[in-house]
């Protein structure tokens, strides 16, 4: 069981009292806790928009994560007079989804084309640290309970930041096998009550 220190709990309570508009400049300054607070508040809504656009769970997860990466890098583009932070975040999900779907009538084909051919869209170092700090404590123990081959794929995808195609090449596995192991592993993680809100990553 992971025990949070009083200092950590105090910071979480402080972020919880801040409005979204107050968190945005903190996120822009690289504050991992502020990003975690925004993620906790809006990840479900982001996933819902992504799901409506893609109709597929894995594609929706990929789209929602991509949108949060974009938001992390683009806090300077937020303008309060144009709407709430939630509206801004969901517009990023929508726009990224439209960009992805425009190149092909087939959602599945579009996702695989982007994965195979598009430039890598990896989180920067600050984002990686924020993401890892927020998720690692809850996920580490749960990972011990899933099969080794699924654990290996998830670690490469979500902690080392590789794409599914790169994991396929590194492990010498078909791309479909990598996707299947990722889906099964994530499903088992979400079966744990404390991880049911894990929408992306």
> Which CATH fold topology does 10-195 show?
Rna Polymerase Sigma Factor; Chain: A (1.10.1740)
Per-residue pLDDT tens, the chain, 201 aa: give them.
444 554 555 566 788 888 989 999 998 888 888 888 888 899 899 999 999 988 888 888 988 888 888 888 888 888 988 889 999 999 999 988 888 766 545 545 545 554 554 444 444 555 555 555 556 666 666 677 778 888 888 888 877 778 889 888 888 989 889 898 888 888 877 776 555 555 444
Which pTM was predicted? 0.48
Give residue limits of the domains in the chain: 10-195
One DSSP character per residue, the chain reads -----HHHHHHHHHHHHS-HHHHHHHHHTT-HHHHHHHHHHHHHHHHHHHHHHH-SHHHHHHHHHHHHHHHHHTGGG--GGG--HHHHHHHHHHHHHHHHHHT-S-HHHHHHHHHHHSPP----HHHHHHHHHHHHHHHHHHHTTS-HHHHHHHIIIIIS---HHHHHHHHT--HHHHHHHHHHHHHHHHTSGGGTT----
């Amino acid at each position: 069981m992971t025990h949070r220190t009083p200092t950590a709990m105090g910071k979480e309570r402080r972020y919880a009292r801040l409005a979204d508009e107050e968190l945005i400049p903190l996120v822009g300054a690289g504050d991992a806790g502020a990003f975690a607070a925004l993620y906790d508040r809006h990840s479900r809504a982001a996933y819902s928009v992504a799901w409506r656009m893609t109709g597929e769970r894995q594609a929706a997860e990929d789209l929602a994560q991509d949108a949060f990466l974009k938001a992390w890098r683009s806090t300077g583009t937020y303008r309060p007079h144009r709407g709430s932070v939630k509206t801004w975040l969901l517009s990023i999900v929508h726009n990224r989804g439209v960009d992805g779907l425009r190149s092909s009538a087939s959602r599945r084909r579009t996702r695989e084309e982007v994965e195979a051919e598009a430039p890598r869209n990896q989180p920067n170092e600050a984002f990686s640290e924020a993401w890892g700090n927020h998720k690692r404590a809850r996920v580490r123990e749960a990972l011990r309970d899933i099969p080794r081959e699924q654990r290996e794929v998830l670690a490469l995808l979500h902690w080392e930041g590789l794409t599914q195609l790169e994991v396929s090449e590194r492990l010498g596995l078909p791309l479909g096998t990598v996707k299947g192991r990722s889906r099964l592993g994530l499903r088992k993680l979400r079966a744990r009550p404390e991880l049911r809100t894990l929408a992306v990553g």
